[in-house]
Structure 1
Amino acid sequence: MTESPHRMSTRAVVVGGSLAGMLAAAAVRDHVDSVEIIEAHDLPEGPEARPGVPQAAHFHVLLSGGANAIEELLPGTVKELLAAGAHRVPMTTNMLICSPEGWYRRWQRDSHYLITASRDLTDSVVRGQVLKDPRVRVRPHTKVTALLGSSRRVTGVRLRAADGTESDLTADLVVDASGKAARTPQWLAELGVSGLAQDRIDSGIAYASRVYRAPVPTRNWPVISVQADPRTGEPGRTGGIVPIEDGRWHVSLIGTPGAQPTREAAEFEPYARTLRHPVIADLLAHAEPLTDVAVTHSTVNRRYYYERLTSWPEGLVALGDSVAAFNPVYGHGMSVAALGAVALRTQLSSLGLTNGLSRKAQRAVAGPVELAWSLAVGQDIHYATTEGKSANTADRLLQRYVSRLSHTATGSYHVATAMTDVLTLQSPGTALLRPGVLAAALMGPPRPQLDGPTFTGEERRLLAEAEIRLPGVTG
């Protein structure tokens, strides 16, 4: 009898134990024998703060495009999130949105939604789902200091343990999911890969956030958003209330230079009253603050165009914030990471660990990045304080069209649905150029605009029981 040749064991290394790193591990685990996640810090066992995630202090939403992608990678995750206290919020059925063009109607539909929860809970549930797989293990308190290999092929990573000891770890595939602080551009340069293009666009937006005990039950309570209008030329002020687990509201107030919120607790609610509508301030007047105010100025849009490089080493893929980090006000980060992980898995399923995988996978990852980038930057460049790019004639024409769409969406279910398709990353931006959408935008909203936020009968009952009276509230 002839023995079959021994098959070499295959390994993938994921740099970073973030949400993107966990989803990357989920994407590659069926195509290798083992997955090693290299994490610079320790990973908590439950929904606790993880070092290296400063944005966790601010509210996060998982768009339906991203939630569907996570379900594809990790079936049952959304159900587990909801069981742990997260909320599924239909768009715009359970949302009160004051756009620059006016209040959106609460159209009855379920095809688009948000999952709202603290970032710590979302990370914890996804992490638990991934680490149940015995093929995936984490190496904590370890840093990746370099890529092994050449400009043609990456063969592993160099590691530095907490005690300073260095070692090499070989891999058939390295996935960089190390986030905004990724050193991949430097590592590529060390391998001789040059010509990397990047963009950095900073609107100067600052976030101030705080968690409150909600004065009303949060189950089925709407997300509330009062948005700035960059067309005015004035400093922009935005605010939102997002229901999260344990009967709490996560509240973020956001301002451009000249209107940036501070970390002073006494100034938080007065700032909310400077928004374009007072509904958030009126609600916070009846809520109990549970945390101090957390502030961040780290809201730069930054993108590396890896997919444009003429030379890209086999055995390496980057995704998540390692490729592009977005102004978090638009809520795209987690969803883009999930869609990027699905794109990687799709290429692996088609090509396996063959030559050509890495370049094709990197180009596939760029797809959801491009849509989210155009949405974020297309808004931020219209603030007068933005650095890195200014709006040109084409940008201003596009903004006028999008503004016209948004105006129409305040009274048109058809246009509101088309816009939500794109904003939740479920359809490409070209969906807004379909003949039916163009014609509807030309005609304008078929229904009159609302004067203010519209609460349902049940929501007004809950407000009355809590002895909360909101001026200008309609039903």
Structure 2
Amino acid sequence: MSESPQRPPQVSRTSRMSTRAVVVGGSLAGMLAAAAVRDHVDSVEIIEAHGMPDGPESRPGVPQAAHFHVLLSGGANAIDELLPGTVKELLGAGAHRVPMTTNMVIHSPEGWYRRWTRDSHYLITAGRDLTDSVVRRQVLKDPRITVRPHTKVTALLGSSRRVTGVRLRAADGIETELTADLVVDASGRAARTPQWLAELGISGLAQDRIDSGIAYASRIYRASVSTENWPVISVQADPRSGAPGRTGGIVPIEDGRWHVSLIGTPGAQPTREEAEFEPYARTLRHPVIADLLAHAEPLTDVVMTHSTVNRRYYYERLKSWPEGLVALGDSVAAFNPVYGHGMSVAAIGAVALRTRLASLGLANGLSRKAQRAIAGPVELAWSLAVGQDIHYRTTKGKNASTADRLLQRYVSRLSHTATGSYHVATAMTEVLTLQSPGTTLLRPGVLTAALLGPRRPQLDRPTFTAGELRLLTDAGIPLPGLAE
């Protein structure tokens, strides 16, 4: 009886080396980073220094959540690309979709913006805790993604050539090591990546820190009218005046509430005193916000923050960058929140990371190429934020150069033209919502329109619609800012 031939040994699919990504930080940027890498590794572990709430509750790692947040359409589109259906979930939970400038009452330094009818550029407005919770719920549906709460990353493992994992410290002080094929730092403004890189022997990191000294005071109100389709209202400071800047805004959020923030530079900063909140609103360039708040019910205390510094690390410029490491979100650049860029830049950066992973996998060269791609949306948002802040006299870290002043004059001319030109207003919102690059504002048609100026006369009062004015009248509220 002949022996049957031996079969070659079978290699089980499960016997191959599994791959893991570690995300440092369970913030919005961290959740989006996990969504970006999940299809390219076997598992993703999010390391979070604090607890992870189940619902729309405050989280210690997001102190700025007390101030109003907007998700620009460029960022909202990126989140939906990473997590299809998330924007729909947000709207179902009570967030508002606000078309720009269709549903906005804006008093810019150059005048009142008209409410041009369009839908392609928009804001999603909601409490930050709600936005975080919806995104978190969408991400953690995936069984490949887990969270390790109450744990801090204390160092990177590996060398200047390749990061191989992280060192962890649990709440009880016990330290362990966790290996990873990819580490994504999404730990926010408090990121320690510069120190960790130095410990690996990587030096020469350039950074900018530009501080206009702006302070925020915020409070939530029960809206005095229905918030369904109610506009965002913004009265902006004029940095050209040379006087301390005062800005204010009302953003409709879930549950029939208004999130109100008042913002000032040194010499005009608001305080946390409740009795001074509404009087400060009356010092803005127009009283519309104060008039509305006089008939609304405050629901919270006043919360203050001075954490408005623009800070950027130029990781993409380093001569040496270790494979296996990527930084994302506020870990790369944190912006003055008055401009509303942070969440959107993190989302667009996460899409850039996923795109590089799709083309390169975990191959050599991924980390540097991903870091350079992430720098793209950072650069646009940085130029928009810093391009405004450097013109306040109180700003520290950079003085406006001749080129900066010329650029400001051009942008001011564009804004002036946008008050009476649909074409220029559309170009500006394309850029401001991070849907198009800044070069959009240099297209021949835009340059020509700016040269010609606004095609319609300037408005002299808030641009409320007839329907909104009826709502105010029916609620017994004097027409805001119009009874002069």
- Name the amino acid aligned to 1:399: Q
* One-letter amino acid of the counterpart of residue 59, structure 1: F
Contact residue 246 and residue 263 of structure 2 kept, 8 A: yes
1:370 and 2:379 aligned: yes
Aligned equivalent of 2:315: 306
2:278 to 241, 265, 269: 269
**Alpha-carbon deviation of 1:473?**
4.0
Q: Which residue of 1 aligns with 2:269?
A: 260
Instruction: Please point out which of 38, 47, 53 is paired with 1:29.
Output: 38
Task: Output the CA distance in 1 between the equivalents of 2:130 and 2:461.
Answer: 33
Equivalent residue for 2:27, pick from 14, 18, 27 = 18
Aligned residues: 474
Whether the aligned pair in 1 keeps the contact of 2:274 and 2:301 (CA below 8 Å) is: yes
**Which structure has the greater CA radius of gyration?**
2
Residue number in structure 2 paired with 1:134: 143
Counterpart in the other structure of 1:348: 357
- Alignment partner of 2:119 out of 105, 110, 118: 110
Q: Among residues 90, 93, 98, which one is paired with 1:89 in the alignment?
A: 98
**CA distance in structure 2 between the aligned counterparts of 1:450 and 1:43, rounded to whole angstroms:** 48
AA aligned to 1:461 is R
1:455 pairs with 2:464: yes
CA distance in 2, matches of 1:265, 1:305: 40
RMSD: 0.8
Higher mean C-alpha deviation, range 11-20 or range 459-468 = 459-468
Structure 1 position 334 matched with structure 2 position 343: yes
Query: Which amino acid in 1 is paired with 2:320?
Result: S
Instruction: Write the mapping of 1:178-197 to structure 2, written as runs, cut at 5 A.
Output: 178-197=187-206
Q: Residues of 2 paired with 1:203 and 1:246: CA distance?
A: 34
2:11 to 4, 7, 21: 4
- Of 395, 398, 402, the match for 2:407: 398
Q: Is the 1:454–1:473 Cα contact (8 Å) retained in structure 2?
A: no
Matched, 1:420 2:421: no
Instruction: Quote how far apart the aligned CAs of 1:249 are.
Output: 0.1
CA distance in 2, matches of 1:70, 1:472: 37
Select which of 82, 93, 99 maps to 1:73. 82
Report what 2:223 is aligned to. 214
Cα pair distance change 1:56/1:414, threshold 3 Å: same
Uncovered stretches (5+) of structure 2, i.e. residues with no partner: 1-6
Q: d(CA) in 1 for partners of 2:45 and 2:415?
A: 45
How far apart in 2 are the matches of 1:244 and 1:443? Answer: 38
The alignment status of 1:438 with 2:447, answered yes or no, reads yes
Query: How far 1:465 sits from its partner (Å)?
Result: 1.2
| Secondary structure of the corresponding residue to residue 186 of structure 1 | helix
**Where does 1:219-238 land on structure 2 (aligned, <5 Å)?**
219-238=228-247
3-state SS of the aligned residue for 2:321?
coil
Structure 2-normalised TM-score? 0.97
Determine helix, strand or coil for the equivalent of 1:115. strand
Aligned-pair CA distance for 1:357:
0.2
Determine the structure 2 residue equivalent to 1:158.
167
Matched, 1:200 2:209: yes
- Displacement of 1:18 in angstroms is 0.1
- CA distance in 1 between partners of 2:68 and 2:190 (Å): 21
Q: SS where residue 42 of structure 1 aligns?
A: coil
**Alpha-carbon distance in 1 for matches of 2:480, 2:187:** 47
3-state secondary structure, aligned to 2:132: helix
2:83 matched to 1:39?
Answer: no
- Paired with 2:201 and 2:363, the residues of 1 have a C-alpha distance of 22
Indicate if the aligned counterparts of 2:291 and 2:481 stay in contact, CA closer than 8 A.
no
- Please say if residues 286 and 481 of structure 2, whose CA atoms lie closer than 8 Å, have aligned partners that are also in contact: no
CA distance in 2, matches of 1:473, 1:29: 53
Match of 2:134 among 122, 125, 132: 125
Following TM superposition, by how much is the alpha carbon of 1:366 offset from its aligned partner in structure 2, in angstroms?
Answer: 0.3
Is 2:69–2:126's contact at 8 Å kept on the other side of the alignment? yes
Q: CA deviation at 1:343?
A: 0.3
Cα separation, 2, equivalents of 1:309 and 1:454: 48
Q: Which residue identity lines up with residue 380 of structure 1 in the other structure?
A: D
**For the residues of structure 2 that align with 1:454 and 1:62, how far apart are their CA atoms?**
23
Please state if 1:470 is matched with 2:447. no
Give me the whole-angstrom Cα distance separating, in 1, the residues matched to 2:480 and 2:21: 57
Q: 1:51 to 1:471 in 2, by over 3 A?
A: closer
* CA drift at 1:77: 0.3
Residue by residue, what CA displacement relative to the aligned partner does 1:51-93 show, whole Å, maximum 9, x if unpaired?
Answer: 1111000000000000000000000000000000000000000
Q: Deviations over 1:131-179 (max 9, x none)?
A: 0000000000000000000000000000000000000000000000000
Whole-angstrom CA distance in 2 between matches of 1:441 and 1:456: 27
- Is the contact made by 2:469 and 2:479 (CA closer than 8 Å) also made in structure 1? no
Shift of residue 471 of structure 1?
5.1
Task: Write the deviation string for residues 342-389 of structure 1: whole angstroms up to 9, x where unpaired.
Answer: 000000000000000000000000000000000000000000000000
Q: CA deviation at 1:4?
A: 3.4
Amino acid at match of 1:174: V
Q: Is the 8 A contact 1:145 1:157 kept in 2?
A: yes
Shift of 1:215: 0.6
Please say if residues 455 and 473 of structure 1, whose CA atoms lie closer than 8 Å, have aligned partners that are also in contact: no
Q: Which residue of 1 aligns with 2:3?
A: none
Please give the alpha-carbon distance, in whole angstroms, between the structure 1 residues aligned to 2:16 and 2:388. Answer: 52
Q: Shift in Å at residue 412 of structure 1? A: 0.2
CA contact (8 A) 1:302 1:324 kept: yes
SS in 2 for 1:88: strand
CA contact (8 A) 2:292 2:480 kept: no
Instruction: Identify unmatched segments of 5+ residues in structure 1.
Output: none
8 Å contact from structure 1 (residues 35, 137) kept in 2: yes
SS in 1 for 2:194: helix
Question: What secondary structure is seen at the aligned counterpart in 2 of 1:402?
Answer: helix
